[in-house]
Copies of this chain bind each other. A is one copy, B any other.
Amino acid sequence: MGFDKIIHEPARLRIMMVLAGVAEADFNFLLTTLELTRGNLSRHVEKLEGAGYVEIKKVFIGKIPNTSYRITKDGKGALSRYWKSIDEVRRLGQF
């Protein structure tokens, strides 16, 4: 009935879609491709981690901290279920 609230939020849906198509993406890549603010990206990605949909990996590249993300198996499953539920609602009408 309801959609997965974690994924349904537009910013997070877009994060998930990008992560689904890529082995791994770092903070700045997501920041520039999705045009979010740093604060929002941080919080959304944290929420996705809390749900077990993405993994966060922090390393140093030289002296610079670098945070990168990858989608988990759970995340992929949830994302595909999400699209299924969207399709169901869409079939309610003729659009």
Question: What residues make up the interface of A, taking CB atoms closer than 8 Å to B?
Answer: 1-3, 8, 10-11, 13-14, 17-18, 20-21, 35, 79-80, 83, 86, 89-90, 92-95
Contacts and interface: CB of A to CB of B under 8 A. Distances in A.
B1 A35 contact: yes
B79 A18 contact: no
Q: Which 6 A-B pairs have the closest CB atoms?
A: A17-B92, A17-B93, A20-B93, A21-B93, A2-B10, A3-B10
Contacts of A89: 10, 13-14, 17
B86 A21 contact: no
B83 A20 contact: no
B10 A95 contact: no
